[in-house]
């Protein structure tokens, strides 16, 4: 009798652990906040081609996961909020990163605003919008 109870406890413990992991993962997806890593200020010379990468996350109670396959929009504005660069790309299926290359040959030497934004997802999981702004400087 004692051996049977001991054996059943060793079967139940892994089942309970796997259930907790699964429920935690589902609750993370069901009650998430989205967040984008901040982008450091960028300084480049006129005519340079600059790579910009942003990473999108879902933040849960117990852990954070990259948000994959979602559209991220990159914009560069001048001081009058005129759009000089606009591109939308999807986050990578491995790490939640999205990237673009900006050719600055038509940019005048000055300070610009780099805005990277995720507009959210109103589908089944309903991810909230988020974004980040940074300084984008072009020198002569």
Spell out the SS3 assignment of the chain: CHHHHHHHHHHHHHHHHHHHHHHHHHHHHHCCEEEECCCCCEEEECCCEEEEEEEEEEECCCCEEECCCCEEEEEEECCCCCEEEEEEEECCCCCCEEEEEEECCCCCCEEEEEEEEECCCCCCCCCCCEEEEEEEEEEC
- Residue 51 pLDDT: 97
Calculate what percentage of the chain has a pLDDT beyond 70. Answer: 77
Q: Which residue has the higher pLDDT, 38 or 16?
A: 38
Q: Which pLDDT belongs to residue 28?
A: 46
User: pLDDT confidence of 27, banded at 50, 70, 90?
Assistant: very low
Higher pLDDT, residue 34 or 60: 34
The pTM assigned to this predicted structure is: 0.75
Classify domain 33-139 at the CATH topology level: Immunoglobulin-like (2.60.40)
Q: Show me where the domains of the chain are located.
A: 1-30, 33-139
What's the chain's average pLDDT? Answer: 85
């Amino acid at each position: 009798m004692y051996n049977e109870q001991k054996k059943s406890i060793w079967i139940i413990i892994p089942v309970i652990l796997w259930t907790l992991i699964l429920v935690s993962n589902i609750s993370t997806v069901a009650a998430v906040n989205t967040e984008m890593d901040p982008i450091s200020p960028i300084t480049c010379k006129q005519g340079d081609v600059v790579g910009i990468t942003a990473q999108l996350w879902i933040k849960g109670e117990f852990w954070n996961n990259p948000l994959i396959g979602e559209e991220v929009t990159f914009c560069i504005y001048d001081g009058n909020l005129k759009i000089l660069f606009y591109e939308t790309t999807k986050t990578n299926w491995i790490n939640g990163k999205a990237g673009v290359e900006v050719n600055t040959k038509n940019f005048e030497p000055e300070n610009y605003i780099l805005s990277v934004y995720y507009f959210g997802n109103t589908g089944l999981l309903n991810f909230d919008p988020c974004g980040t702004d940074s300084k984008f400087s072009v020198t002569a």
